[in-house]
């Protein structure tokens, strides 16, 4: 495993680990933060949230729809979630994404780690920014779920 191809981002959440963990498996919460912005809404979100279950999500961009595919490899609520992830139109290979959820006071710290394929080395910084923005988007989605709002996060 090459460290220069490892993307690792962390974020603190106000919610406990179980609530944040569940956001990664709940179709309605996912629709509000993963692979989506107000300019590129998610138009498909199929989720079979069980070990070996698959997901397919499609976001609509000005240049065309982009499908994201993956498979849940490990679901250990509320501490660890592992899934494969890829964009079939771009590459057949999938990366493995690992999320850990550590309780801290009333909230939790979430760390997302993924190892990019060697051919994507030039995209490490962009991947780090995108995953970080998704964690930020999840925080917004969870806050809006609690308060009853439904707006999409504005960043990626």
pLDDT in tens, 73-107: 999 999 999 999 999 998 888 999 999 999 998 99
Q: In this structure, is residue 153 part of a structural domain?
A: no
pLDDT for the residue numbered 42: 86
pLDDT (0 to 100) of residue 155: 35
Cα 117 from chain centre: 18
Domain span at residue 26 reads 3-146
Alpha helices in 1-105, H assignment, sequence order: 17-23, 27-33
Instruction: Write down the residue that tokens 């994201």 correspond to.
Output: 68
Domain count, the chain: 1
Q: Does 100 reside within a domain?
A: yes
Higher per-residue pLDDT: 107 or 150? 107
Q: For the chain, what percent of residues have pLDDT higher than 70?
A: 89
Distance between CA 130 and CA 140 in Å, rounded? 15
- Quick one: how far is CA 21 from the chain centroid? 11
In this prediction the pTM is 0.88
The domain that holds 125 is classified in CATH as: 3.30.530.20
What residues form DSSP beta bridges with 9?
Answer: 112
In a domain, 152, yes or no: no
Contact 55, 42 (CB under 8 A): no
Dihedral over Cα of 46, 50, 53, 59: its sign: positive
Question: Does residue 151 sit within a domain?
Answer: no
Provide the pLDDT confidence category of residue 41 given band limits of 50, 70 and 90: confident
Q: What is the pLDDT of residue 156?
A: 31
Say what the pLDDT of residue 130 is. 93
Mean pLDDT of the chain: 89
Say if 156 falls within a structural domain.
no
Q: Does a structural domain hold residue 50? A: yes
Determine the pLDDT at residue 146: 66
Sign of CA dihedral 35, 41, 45, 49: positive
Query: What's the mean pLDDT in 141-145?
Result: 86
């Amino acid at each position: 495993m090459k460290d220069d191809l490892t993307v690792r981002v962390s974020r603190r959440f106000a919610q406990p680990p179980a609530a944040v963990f569940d956001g990664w498996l709940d179709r309605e919460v996912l629709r509000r933060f993963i692979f989506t912005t107000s300019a590129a809404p998610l138009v498909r979100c199929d989720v079979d949230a069980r070990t070996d279950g698959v997901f397919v999500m499609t976001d609509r961009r000005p240049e065309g729809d982009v499908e994201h595919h993956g498979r849940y490899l490990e679901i250990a609520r509320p501490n660890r979630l592992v899934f494969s992830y890829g964009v079939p139109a771009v590459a057949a290979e999938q990366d493995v994404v690992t999320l850990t959820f550590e309780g801290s006071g009333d909230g939790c710290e979430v760390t997302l780690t993924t190892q990019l394929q060697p051919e994507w080395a030039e995209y490490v910084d962009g991947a780090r920014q995108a995953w970080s923005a998704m964690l930020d988007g999840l925080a917004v989605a969870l806050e809006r779920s609690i308060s009853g709002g439904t707006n999409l996060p504005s960043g990626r």
